[in-house]
Amino acid sequence: MHKIAIALFGSRVSPRFDCAPGFRVVELDNGTINSSREVYTENFNAAQRISKLRELGVSTLICGGIDMFSAGQLDHHGVKIYSWITGEAQDALECLLQGKLQPGFMLAAGGRCCGRWRFRQGRGTGPGSGFGNSRGGGRRKGWYNP
Amino acid sequence: MKQQKHDDRDIILDSIADGVFTVDGHWIITSFNRAAERITGVKRVQAIGQKCFDVFRADICQTACALKHSIETGNEIIDRRINILNDQGQTVPISISTAVLRDKNGRVVGGAETFRDLSDIELLRQEIRGRYTFEDIISQNHDIHQLFEILPDIAASESTVLIEGPTGSGKEIFARAIHNLSPRKKNKFIAVNCGALPDSLLESELFGYVKGAFTDARTDKPGRFALAQGGTLFLDEIGDVSPSVQVKLLRVLQEKQYEPLGGTTTQKADVRIIAATNKNLQQLTSLGRFRDDLYYRLNIVKISLPSLAQRRDDIVLLAEHFIRKFNVKKGKHIEGISAKAIAILMKHDFPGNIRELENIIEHAFVLCRGKEIRPEHLPLELAGNIDSGHLMEVKSINIMRDQNEAGIIKNILLKHSGKRSAVAAELGINKSTLWRKMKKYEISYPPDDQTEQ
């Protein structure tokens, strides 16, 4: 059993983990969706959100931007984070189930990846950046160079 | 002609010091100036064509969008304070102003938002007020994150807290974070350094005195317990308190009441105590230098802070934080710290912990005239720590890592007969990253020696 949470803003992935009014929590059994429900987190602070996700047994999170504190805490608890995702939540979920989703994906209609976020010089919170899915990125140029 | 118009508009927008972006009626960004790039960390080429909330990531985007309000009501918003999340996962305080864009017929075609970075002002304000939350504590260390997990529960309780940790390890910041997270946060946080005051003075400082209690006591003076009423009293260096003050503190903790010096009326103490020490209190009790009944009263919830040497993974993060802080305080624009200077810091033991690191960065700020802190800007005793052998070591580790990586790429290329997409998938990187790494390590497929044959 594997639980995925997607930070929601309407039907889209919420641009901010700490401000998302709710999460869609999907339960997977052998790679197929077993159940799906929405959890409301309006007025929750970052710590309360993290404890809610832990309480629900979430092991993977799809979200837009995420602050360093939340990313560090979730990483500490072994939650795999796909951050800086933009687009429809359903598309992001399907992309993840197909094994194609990567942090920083810009999703167009139909779940097609139409680009990746490129940030300025310095540490991002993307892969290999010191927080989130992998550690030790440290200082380097933008974490994605096409 | 249209392109020329766009170029002119971009030149004008880029000359503005504040961030500016415009959106059409579908919240799609149509222009994004240079200052907006700097504040958000998102490049213009990426921002244009995206939904504004996916780029701007403000705390109000999802609940009370200011631009939406302006477009719907026609009312402009001026200087509203909000925060955004930048590309580095940092919350940036800004002030925004909005305006409605209309075509020549007066029809609303979109909106414009200007925003100003308030990080510098907020940083100074926070320094002055000392209003730290635990989200302001900078760490990626496992032990500290374990503390973060229990901190909200500790804060919510009314229990006395004992913080143990070496000097300069951030005990007061943790105490402030607990206070600011607790139900007492609207009341005062009062800090007393018990080790800095002689015995008689400490007593009057803590409990206050009444007029005539001693020569020169011409008026009543409230003590720190009275000042912290309803709030939190932070007793730093509690291990240095004399036995007579220990007895008085024990009474306050037990009975929640005390008498000011020379006073006859008992005062109620509605104060939460957070005590801190860099000594081992348990050891002091066994030596008879600290009352064990007071120790057990204080030691209801104990937090042990690691030294900086035990959380070396935070050195770079903390150094970058202090660089940001001193850039604001000293009006400099230092961008970072060189790899060699970091290597020196990583080798240092930091007996003075985070405070020592802060002082080292401040020292470097005095000497650094460029954009990067280098080994020669560090204090001499520190720069003397590093020998060429260590630098060689750091260098050889990098070479070893590169050789390893190159070897792995070569093997996987052979395994997949040079199919780049399969290799990238196995390595968990994308094809362009693979291409860059192959170029860096001068790897070709089929291998050059094979082609020659």
Inform me whether the pLDDT recorded for B16 exceeds 50: yes
Minimal-distance CA residue of chain B relative to A43: B63
Phi first, then psi: what are they for A66, rounded to 5°? Answer: -140, 135
Bigger pLDDT: B418 vs A54: A54
CATH number belonging to domain B310-383: 1.10.8.60
Bigger pLDDT: B157 vs B451: B157
Inform me whether the pLDDT recorded for B410 exceeds 90: no
Q: What is the pLDDT of residue B33?
A: 92
**Which of B43, B54, B139 has the CB atom closest to A118's CB atom?**
B43
Q: How far is A81 from chain B (nearest CA, A)?
A: 13
Q: How far is B334 from chain A (nearest CA, A)?
A: 14
End-to-end alpha-carbon separation of chain B, Å? 58
Q: How do residues B179-193 score in pLDDT, each as one tens digit?
A: 988 999 999 999 999
Name the least confident of B239-253, B343-357, B405-419, B438-452. B438-452
Q: Of B267, B266, B252, give the one whose Cα is nearest residue B298.
A: B252
Inform me whether the pLDDT recorded for B400 exceeds 70: no
Instruction: Delimit the domains of chain A by residue range.
Output: 2-116
Inform me whether the pLDDT recorded for B351 exceeds 60: yes
**Which of A15, A68, A118 has the CB atom closest to B90's CB atom?**
A68
Residue pairs between chains A and B whose CB atoms are closer than 8 Å: 98
Inform me whether the pLDDT recorded for B168 exceeds 50: yes
Q: What is the pLDDT of residue B448?
A: 53
Inform me whether the pLDDT recorded for B283 exceeds 60: yes
Name the least confident of A91-95, B357-361, B431-435. B431-435
CATH number belonging to domain B396-452: 1.10.10
pLDDT (average), residues A42-49: 87
- Rounded (10°) angle between helices B388-415 and B431-440: 120
Question: Which residues of B are less than 8 Å from A14 in CB distance?
Answer: 62
Which pLDDT band, with edges at 50, 70 and 90, does A144 fall under? very low
Spatial distance between the Cα atoms of B373 and B388, rounded to a whole number of angstroms: 19
Q: How do residues B91-101 score in pLDDT, each as one tens digit?
A: 899 999 999 99
Q: What is the pLDDT of residue B130?
A: 66
Spatial distance between the Cα atoms of A24 and A10, rounded to a whole number of angstroms: 11
Bigger pLDDT: B453 vs B370: B370
B287's tokens = 């030596």
Question: Which residues of A are less than 8 Å from B50 in CB distance?
Answer: 86, 106
Spatial distance between the Cα atoms of B398 and B20, rounded to a whole number of angstroms: 42
Tell me which residue has tokens 């979730």. A74
Q: How do residues A91-126 score in pLDDT, each as one tens digit?
A: 999 999 988 898 888 888 777 777 887 765 444 444
Looking at every residue in chain B, the average pLDDT score rounds to 85
Question: Which residues of B are less than 8 Å from A72 in CB distance?
Answer: 139-140, 145
Inform me whether the pLDDT recorded for B263 exceeds 60: yes
Judged by CB atoms closer than 8 Å, whether chains meet at A131 and B140 is answered as: yes
Question: Which residues of A are less than 8 Å from B90 in CB distance?
Answer: 67-68
Name the least confident of B64-78, B107-121, B234-248, B389-403. B389-403
Judged by CB atoms closer than 8 Å, whether chains meet at A46 and B57 is answered as: no
Bigger pLDDT: B451 vs B4: B4
Q: What is the 3-state secondary structure (H, E, C) of chain A?
A: CEEEEEEEECCEECCEHHHCCEEEEEEEECCEEEEEEEEECCCCCHHHHHHHHHHCCCCEEECCECCHHHHHHHHHCCCEEECCCECEHHHHHHHHHCCCCCCCEEECHHHCEEEECCECCCCCCCCCCCCCCCCCCCCCCCCCCC
pLDDT (average), residues B40-54: 91
Q: How many CB atoms lie within 10 A of CB B43?
A: 16
Spatial distance between the Cα atoms of B17 and B79, rounded to a whole number of angstroms: 15
Looking at every residue in chain A, the average pLDDT score rounds to 80
Q: How far is A62 from chain B (nearest CA, A)?
A: 14
- Domain B2-117, architecture per CATH: 2-Layer Sandwich (3.30)
Judged by CB atoms closer than 8 Å, whether chains meet at B57 and A64 is answered as: yes
CATH superfamily, with its number, for domain A2-116 = Dinitrogenase iron-molybdenum cofactor biosynthesis domain (3.30.420.130)
Query: Residue A10 class from Cβ within 10 Å (0-12 exposed, 13-18 middle, 19+ buried)?
Result: exposed
Q: What is the pLDDT of residue B138?
A: 84
Inform me whether the pLDDT recorded for B175 exceeds 90: yes
Q: How many CB atoms lie within 10 A of CB B267?
A: 18
Q: What is the pLDDT of residue B15?
A: 83
Spatial distance between the Cα atoms of B97 and B75, rounded to a whole number of angstroms: 11
Instruction: Delimit the domains of chain B by residue range.
Output: 2-117, 127-304, 310-383, 396-452
Residues in chain A: 146
Question: Which residues of A are less than 8 Å from B43 in CB distance?
Answer: 118-120
Q: What is the pLDDT of residue B273?
A: 94
Q: How far is A67 from chain B (nearest CA, A)?
A: 4
Q: Of B334, B330, B329, B331, give the one whose Cα is nearest residue B319.
A: B334
pLDDT (average), residues B223-227: 91
Question: For residues B305 and B171, is the Cβ–Cβ distance under 8 A?
Answer: yes
Contacts 24+ apart (CB under 8 A), A66-69: A66/A16, A66/A17, A66/A18, A66/A125, A66/A132, A66/B85, A66/B89, A67/A17, A67/A18, A67/B85, A67/B89, A67/B90, A67/B91, A67/B135, A68/A125, A68/A131, A68/B88, A68/B89, A68/B90, A69/B135, A69/B148
Which pLDDT band, with edges at 50, 70 and 90, does A54 fall under? very high
CATH number belonging to domain B127-304: 3.40.50.300
Question: For residues B215 and B167, is the Cβ–Cβ distance under 8 A?
Answer: no
Q: What is the pLDDT of residue B198?
A: 84
- Mutation for testing the B interface, residue in A14, A16, A76 having most B CBs under 10 Å: A16
Q: How do residues B125-161 score in pLDDT, each as one tens digit?
A: 777 766 677 777 888 888 888 888 888 889 999 899 9
Percent of the residues in chain B that have a pLDDT greater than 90, as a whole number:
36
Cis? peptide before A103, omega within 30° of 0: no
Tell me which residue has tokens 């309407």. A10
- Mutation for testing the B interface, residue in A17, A61, A69, A131 having most B CBs under 10 Å: A69
pLDDT (average), residues B312-316: 88
Q: What is the 3-state secondary structure (H, E, C) of chain B?
A: CHHHHHHHHHHHHHCCCCEEEEEECCCEEEEECHHHHHHHCECHHHHCCCEHHHHHCECCCCCCCHHHHHHHHCCCCCCEEEEEECCCCCEEEEEEEEEEEECCCCCEEEEEEEEEECHHHHHHHHHHHCCCCHHHCCCCCHHHHHHHHHHHHHHHCCCCEEEECCCCCCHHHHHHHHHHHCCCCCCCEEEEEHHHCCHHHHHHHHHEECCCCCCCCCCCEECHHHHCCCCEEEEECHHHCCHHHHHHHHHHHHHCEECCECCCCCEECCCEEEEEECCCHHHHHHCCCCCHHHHHHHCCEEEECCCHHHHHHHHHHHHHHHHHHHHHHHCCCCCEECHHHHHHHHHCCCCCHHHHHHHHHHHHHHHCCCCEECHHHCCHHHHCCCCHHHHHHHHHHHHHHHHHHHHHHHHHHHHCCCCHHHHHHHHCCCHHHHHHHHHHCCCCCCCHHHHHC
Inform me whether the pLDDT recorded for B4 exceeds 90: no
Tell me which residue has tokens 């990626």. B140
Which pLDDT band, with edges at 50, 70 and 90, does B383 fall under? low
Q: What is the pLDDT of residue B87?
A: 86
Question: Which residues of A are less than 8 Å from B85 in CB distance?
Answer: 15-16, 18, 65-67
Q: How far is A88 from chain B (nearest CA, A)?
A: 12
Q: What is the pLDDT of residue B332?
A: 85
Inform me whether the pLDDT recorded for A141 exceeds 80: no
Bigger pLDDT: A97 vs A142: A97
Q: What is the pLDDT of residue A22?
A: 94
